[in-house]
Amino acid sequence: MVVGELAEGIDLLVIGGGPGGYTAAVRAAQLGRDVVLVERNGGESGLGGVCLHVGCIPSKALIELAGARGVLRRLSSRGLVVGDPGVDLAAFQKDRTETVSRLARSIRRLLTGAGVRVVHGEARLTGPRRAVVRRDGEASIFFEFRDAVVAAGSRPAEPPTLPRDGSRVLDSTDALALRELPRSVAIVGGGAIGLELASAFHALGSRVSVVELADRVLSGMDAKISHVVQRSFKRRGIDVHCDARVVGDDGARLLVTGTGGERRLDVDAVVVAVGRKRNVEDLGLEAAGVAVLADGEVAVDGQRLAAPNIAAIGDLTEGPSLAHKAMAEALVAAEALSGRPSVFEPMAIPSVVYTDPEVAVAGLSEQAARRNGVDVAISTVPMSVSARGATMGHGEGIARILADRGSGVVMGLQLVGPHASELIAEGVLAIEMGATLEDLAHTIHAHPTLSEAVFESARLGYGAPLHGSM
C-alpha cells in the first residue's frame, strides 16, 4: 500500500448502478449486508444505467410514440376521423427527460431506503479485496472490501469502417436523442436494437432502410421468425438489405455491397446498431484474480462468482444483454455472497424485440434443438385466430410452440404480433413449471384476447385444433 492510500474497510462493494448493480445492492442490504455502490456517472444521472438513461426506457418511449401514430393511421380506415398526426421530437425529448429523471429518483429512494451508500466515481479493483474510486476534482477513495459484485454493463460497438460523428453517423444513444426527425435513415444492423429503431422511425414518418451483414434479420432467432418480420417490414415499406456490407459513406449516400450487387442509399442519417461491447477494460479484473475471456466475457459459475469473493453479472457474463437477465443474476449473486443457497439456472429467459409487430421468444429454439439433437414438435398458428387481433385491426404474426415430441413438455414459445412482449410470460412460466401442451390446451383463456393464439397453438400441438393452422 502506497503512503496516503489509507483504505476504508467495507462489507460489500457493488460496481455499477444499472439494473443489475442496484438490484444486487438492494438485495444484499435486505440480507443485512453493509453495502457501498459505486456509479461512475454523477448524481442521479447514472442510477439505472444505460437501460434507464439511453437504452430500454427512452427507446420504448419513442416506440410508444411511434406506435400511437401508427394506431391512429390504421384506425382512420375503420371509422376514426383524424388528420395525419404530426410528430414533435423536441417535445418528446422534454417528456423523456422528465420520465427518466423521475425513475432515477425512485431508484435513489430505493437505495437510500435500503441503507445503501452511493459513491460516484470510476471504480477499479487493485487486488482480490481492494479497490480505488477515482473522482473528478476530488481525492480518490480507497476501499478494502469483504465481497464485491461487478456490474459494469456495456456500450454500443463501433465498427472501424463507419465511425460515429454524432451528426450524420449515429449510435443508438444519438438516435434516441434526436430533436428533429430525419427524412430518411439507414439502420446498419438487423438485430433487436436496429429493428426497433427502424420500426419506430418508419412509423414516425422517416423513409427507412436496414442493412444487415447476415442472410436475414434477427439471425440469432429461428428463420421462421425472421421471415415473418421481414415480410411485415416489406409490406410496410421498410427496405431490408441482407447479405450486405457498408463499405463507405460520402456524407450523402451510403455505399453498400453484397449478393444483390452495389447500392447507394441516399439518406440523411445513418444509425449504427451492430451490437454492444462489454465494459471490462478499466476494471482491474485481472488484478483481482478474475478471468476475462478473449471477447471480454467474465467467466462465472452458477452462483455468478468469478472469484471466491467477487461476482460478475449482467452484460459482463455469458448470455443476452438484457436488463431482466442482469437483475435475476443480481439476486443470485447477492444471496450467494451472503451465504444463502442460490444458483442461476433459468429454463427460459424471455427476449423481446419491440418492433411493429412485436417479437418475443423464450426457451429452446428450433436451431438449438437441432444442434443438441432434441426431437421437438412444432405447432404454429396465425395470430389472426384471435378475434381480439381483428378488433384491433392488427392480426398479423404467429404463435409458435416447440414441445418435446415424446412427452409434450413445452420447451419454447415464439410470438410475432401485437403485445407479444406481454404474452411471452405465459410461455416462460409454462417452461419453468414443466407444463405440457395438454396443460396449456386445457387452460381456459379469456375471449376475445390475443392470448388465445397461444391456446390455439397448444391445441394444434396436442392434436385437437379448433381454428386451423398454418
Active site residues: 447
* Cα(20)–Cα(16) distance, integer angstroms: 8
Copy the grid coordinates of residue 425.
Answer: 410470460
Measured from the Cβ of residue 185, the count of other Cβ atoms closer than 10 Å reads 24
Quote the strand ranges of 201-285, DSSP E.
207-211, 239-241, 244-249, 253-258, 261-266, 269-272, 276-278
User: Which residues fall within 8 angstroms of residue 81, CB to CB, at 6 or more apart?
Assistant: none
Asked if 25 and 337 touch (Cβ cutoff 8 Å), the reply is: no
Detail the DSSP E strand segments found in 205-252: 207-211, 239-241, 244-249
DSSP state of 424: H
Query: What one-character-per-residue DSSP string does 322-361 give?
Result: -HHHHHHHHHHHHHHHTT-------S---EEE-SSSEEEE
> Taken in order 165, 167, 172, 173, is the CA torsion positive or negative?
positive
Strand 410-417 with 398-404, pairing? antiparallel
Instruction: Let me know how long the chain is.
Output: 470
